[in-house]
Amino acid sequence: METRDVVRQAIEAGVQLVFFLYCDNGGIIRGKGTHVARLEQRLRTGIGLTVAMQAMSDMDQLQAVPGMGPVGEVRLVPDPQTFTVLPYAPKRAVMLADLLTLQGEPWGACPRSFLKRMVQKAAAQGLRLRAAFEPEWTLARRRDDGTVVPIDDSLCFSSVGMTAAQEVVDAIVAALEAQGLEVEQYYPELGHGQQELSIRFADALRAADNQILYRETVRNVAWQHGYLASFAPKPFADQAGNGCHLHFSLWDLAGERNLFYDPEDPLQLSQTAYHFLAGVLAHLPALVALTCPSVNSYRRLGPRTWSSAFVCYGPDNREAALRIASPFWGQEMASLNLELKPADATANPYLALGGLLAAGLDGLARGLQPAEGQRVDVDPATLPPEELARRGIRRLPASLPEAIAALESDATLLEALGPALATSYLAVRRGDAALFASHDEAFELRHHFYKY
Ligand code: GLU
Ligand code: MG
């Protein structure tokens, strides 16, 4: 879409404010809005933003990052392809923005530009990543005393839960569809008030953009129905966690052939798939610092909770970090994909997908193969520690500081992120880890409930 088409569409739709949104190092969606009368100009010039925002923690505490203080400015420049009138707020539209320097170049600390760079790197090798985020979230109600409770105590996939959430879920489905997001499946999940509503895969950048639109939609429509929707990985300590599993496959540039698919292989995986998978496993302890990036993420990631806790893979194994999802009958090539379980919706989707690509491409470049023992066909938590060690099955980081340490020592991921993004990202995450370490569980749950 051209700039002038965006302006025309905005005027025809009766939009007043257009918000240029980005997702920051903390996974928080932020942005600034322009009145439609200034839209044409601001599509070209962007909107100014202090460089300090990429040093801001999830608690809005500015971290000490060289070059990211009170002096300096970048521009929020929106991608015209992402213009979306909001069905739940029809006088408003959003656009997903890149952070550009004053010279108009991608800023080193821009997450969306990082993903674009990784997509280009893959494209130079004839590869195209397609992905879908599979979000789980919790519908809750705020009581008069300020406490928050799930909307129901229904059982996993139970029709009682479908009834409890019917009106709001139907409204969310309609709103997603009006924005061009294709809804795949819906069901009430295991936890009280927990919902899972998945949307169709798309090219990597679009999939990440979709995740931003999705989070906005769920939170807003729930709010309009008098509910809070929480994407926190563990909104209630005694309930199932909210994952946001990442499904992905590599295609040729034309998007015609799924390069992960090989019908001759016992698991229907190609050599390309094994190399990519091995790259992801090799970098996984560091990668989770990007895909499970909040303090609350590690309350979810644990053995025997179906969220994965060990570096291993397996066909349809829901305790393995990488599940080979069995394809649909008659659509094997189209539907074969890998599912990364240690991922949640507090992640910045651009960093999560960019990091995944960097890890997988490294596996391809080095021709890595998963260790034979890393294929697991049981719950890995049932294997004795000696056997896990012998088979090369490591425990995933059990806390944010452990994940940060793994990322700090992963040269491949740090190089892919580049110095500005890596430095600011690590500073923000260290800041959050330190702050929450000095508070209790209730503080952690409260401050993760409704930010993402
Ligand atoms: N809620 C689980 C998680 O935290 C996932 C359950 C499932 O869909 O297998 O990842
Ligand atoms: Mg689920």
Choose the final residue of a domain: 58, 85, 107.
107
> Same structural domain for residues 90 and 148?
no
Measured between alpha carbons, how far is 140 from 313 in angstroms, rounded to an integer? Answer: 34
Structure confidence at residue 1 (pLDDT)? 80
Query: For the domain that residue 40 is a member of, what is the CATH number?
Result: 3.10.20.70
pLDDT band at 2 (very low <50, low <70, confident <90, very high): confident
| Number of independent structural domains in the chain | 2
Contact 295, 429 (CB under 8 A): no
**pTM (2 d.p.):** 0.98
Beta-carbon neighbour count of residue 345 at 10 Å? 26
Find how far residue 97's CA is from the centre of its chain. 17
Helix (H, G, I), strand (E, B) or coil at 426: helix
Q: Which two tokens stand for residue 119?
A: 């997509």
Query: Average pLDDT in the 88-98 region?
Result: 98
- For 176, the domain range is 118-451
> Model confidence over 411-440: pLDDT tens digits?
999 999 999 999 999 999 999 999 999 999
Strand 29-35 with 73-78, pairing: unpaired
> Model confidence over 236-291: pLDDT tens digits?
999 999 999 999 999 999 999 999 999 999 999 999 999 999 999 999 999 999 99
- Of the candidates 31, 12, 10, which has an alpha carbon nearest to the alpha carbon of residue 84? 10
Choose the final residue of a domain: 82, 107, 132.
107
> Model confidence over 36-86: pLDDT tens digits?
999 999 999 999 999 999 999 999 999 999 999 999 999 999 999 999 999
Instruction: Give the residues surrounding ligand 1 with Cβ less than 6 Å away.
Output: 136, 240-241, 243, 300, 306-307, 318, 341
Beta-carbon neighbour count of residue 437 at 10 Å? 12
- Going by alpha carbons, the residue nearest to atom 7 of ligand 1 is 306
Measured between alpha carbons, how far is 291 from 311 in angstroms, rounded to an integer? Answer: 14
In DSSP terms, which residues pair with 18 in a beta bridge?
A: 34, 93
Choose the final residue of a domain: 78, 107, 136.
107
> Same structural domain for residues 363 and 289?
yes
Contact 183, 199 (CB under 8 A): yes
Query: For the domain that residue 303 is a member of, what is the CATH number?
Result: 3.30.590.10
In the chain, % of residues over pLDDT 70: 100
> Same structural domain for residues 162 and 189?
yes
| Domain membership flag for residue 201 | yes
> Same structural domain for residues 100 and 126?
no
> Same structural domain for residues 161 and 266?
yes
- Of the candidates 220, 215, 224, which has an alpha carbon nearest to the alpha carbon of residue 197? 215
Ligand 1 atom index nearest CA of 194: 1
> Same structural domain for residues 28 and 140?
no
pLDDT band at 187 (very low <50, low <70, confident <90, very high): very high
- The best mutation among 134, 341, 379 to test binding of ligand 1, ranked by most ligand atoms within 8 Å of the C-beta, falls on 341
- Going by alpha carbons, the residue nearest to atom 6 of ligand 1 is 306
> Same structural domain for residues 63 and 95?
yes
> Same structural domain for residues 227 and 92?
no
DSSP 92: E
